Amino acid sequence: MELYVSENGRSKDLSLLKERFNRAALAAAATVAALFICAAAVEWVRSAYAPFHGFASYGWFPRLQTFLYLSAMFNILLIRYVVMRIYIAPGVADMETILRRLFNADVASMLLSVLPGLYGLILFLLSGDVTDFYMLFGLSVIYCMIYLPRYKKWISIIKENLTD
């Protein structure tokens, strides 16, 4: 399939592709912005409540910390599972369905990529240790870079699915 030829309505398919991709890119930008807003909130709390020692002191905090770190590491498996479930959903493989699946998969993967940063924010607010936040924030940034929507990937998936 050639997406750039304007015969038989292909130019409409191309404009629909660009419109859907731009919406996915906007959603990705919003999730990345939310991640950096969390970082700004952490720095604001650190300066406003200096020295900040957390809002809670619980004896079970080390278990919660271990659970959230493990959840953050296994988050990449969760992202892959969710994306594959979206891709292999039953239905007709027409242009509209493929674009909807690509959009849903990219938005879901970006939202799940931000989870480790939120885990870090929770740990920071409970304990006051900024190291927890920035380690999990860095993991979120790596996940966001991996799962950022890419136009060439969309085109290759569309060509692969529509030529079968």
Contact predicate 133/42, CB 8 Å? yes
Q: Which pLDDT score, from 0 to 100, does residue 117 have? A: 97
5 in a structural domain = no
138 in a structural domain = yes
CB atoms under 10 Å from CB of 104, counted, come to 16
1 in a structural domain = no
Domain count for the chain: 1
Q: Over range 110-117, report the average pLDDT.
A: 97
This prediction has a pTM of 0.85
Q: Does position 143 have pLDDT exceeding 90, yes or no? A: yes
Tens of pLDDT, residue by residue over 69-80, are 999 999 999 999
Which segments within the chain are labelled E, that is strand?
A: none
2 in a structural domain = no
71 in a structural domain = yes
51 in a structural domain = yes
Q: Which pLDDT score, from 0 to 100, does residue 144 have? A: 96
Q: Which residue range(s) make up the domain with 28?
A: 10-162
